[in-house]
Amino acid sequence: YGSPHGGGYLPKTPRSGGRKLSPRSGGRDGRQRSVPSPSKLGPEATHLLNEIRNAKSRNQWTIHDIQGHVVEFCLDQNGSRFIQQRLEVAQGEEKEAVMGEIVPNIRELQNDVFGNYVVQKLYEFGTPAMKRDLKGTLDGNMLLLSLQMYGCRVVQKALESLQYDDLCELLEEFRGNTLTCIQDQNGNHVIQKLVEVMSIHAKNAELHRGEAGLAVRMADRIQFVVDDVLANVRTLCCHPYGCRVLQRMLEHCVEFQKMATLDRIQGCHRELLDDMYANYVIQHILQYGRDSDRDSLLKIIVENDLLKLSRQKFASNVIEKLLKYGNAYQRNTIVREMLKVANEGTSQEGV
């Protein structure tokens, strides 16, 4: 029973691009596929792309062969894929050629269904100087991009790729806008990634440099996110996107932030136990939390009829996780309760 992140009963929402090149229109499997959008290629770009697609080996083609048409290629499904593949193996001159045409048009490309993948590849394979230039295009635009279907993917890739100091500057735009992003079908993915990436930076500082004080100072950069979430913890636990952010906080936040999160949620364990979204947060608490959190949930389960909760769609997931992550005493308590119910049922049948 996994989290509702990006699938299952939730509406599908965009994630970071990873190694995927660009969305495909579908195969011959009978599934519904998107209708291809009209080509944005001009006659010359169309001719070039057709030559590339018909070539026995595409390796003979480089970005230099399509100079002046890079933006058109980015806006086309097959053209975008060609540029992405080249960026993975290109030398500096080819990458610079792409940057030279993309940066003046980056606002259009960042939120384009095909163009966003090229921008992501530049973050992934660009030189440090290119990444600094790309970072400049994000200044003042982080919130707007985060709320866009494809722009949010570019922001996530930027968070993964840029240096810590650059991230500290960019994330300030989310201050005062945290809840807006969390409750948005696109923006919530950005906040999840922000929590993950900044927490990893903080933990690595302590692990590799042995500087606990530095780790705390680095984690403080996202304290405004943690504060906003904890001030609305009950509502966000029961929210289809808010529950995801809380799960990432439990997975990645440094110790003092994680403890604060566990303490705040502990006061509302009972009402979250069998909620269709909050149960995933409770499952994460059982996996990443403390013995005291598991004891609290065990007490609630026993006092509220373990058998009844075991038959409920969402609460039953929580009981399974407690059996998996609980200590010996906690697991034995559940088993004894089950046996007690079974024995009582047998006695009643005998009567």
pLDDT higher than threshold 50 for residue 5? no
Q: How far apart are CA 124 and CA 55, in angstroms?
A: 27
pLDDT tens digits along 122-175: 999 999 999 999 999 999 999 999 999 999 999 999 999 999 999 999 999 999
pLDDT for residue 12 = 40
Minimum mean pLDDT range among 31-40, 47-56, 263-272, 309-318:
31-40
Q: Residue 212 has what pLDDT?
A: 66
For the ranges 216-220, 238-242, 274-278, 314-318, which has the lowest average pLDDT? 216-220
User: What's residue 262's pLDDT?
Assistant: 98
> Is residue 333 predicted with pLDDT exceeding 60?
yes
pLDDT score, position 37:
59
The residue with greater pLDDT, 278 or 22, is 278
pLDDT at 60: 87
Range in 192-201, 279-288, 331-340 with the lowest mean pLDDT:
331-340
Task: Grade residue 38 by pLDDT with cuts at 50, 70 and 90.
Answer: low
Rounded percentage of the chain residues whose pLDDT exceeds 90: 77
In the predicted model, is pLDDT for residue 17 greater than 60? no
Among 50-59, 101-110, 136-145, 303-312, the range scoring the smallest mean pLDDT is: 50-59
Kindly state the average pLDDT of the residues 246-264. Answer: 97
What's the mean pLDDT when you consider all of the chain? Answer: 88
**pLDDT of amino acid 36:** 53
- Residue 322 scores a pLDDT above 50: yes
The tokens for 29 are 């499997």
Predicted local distance difference test score (pLDDT) of residue 209 = 72
CA 233 to chain centre: 19
- Higher pLDDT: 3 or 191? It is 191
pLDDT of residue 56: 76
Is pLDDT of 20 > 90?
no
Q: What is the pLDDT of residue 55?
A: 86
What integer is the mean pLDDT of 89-98?
95
> Token match 């933990």: residue?
203
Mean pLDDT of 58-65: 89
Q: Which pLDDT value is given to residue 41? A: 84
Q: Per-residue pLDDT for 351 more than 50?
A: no
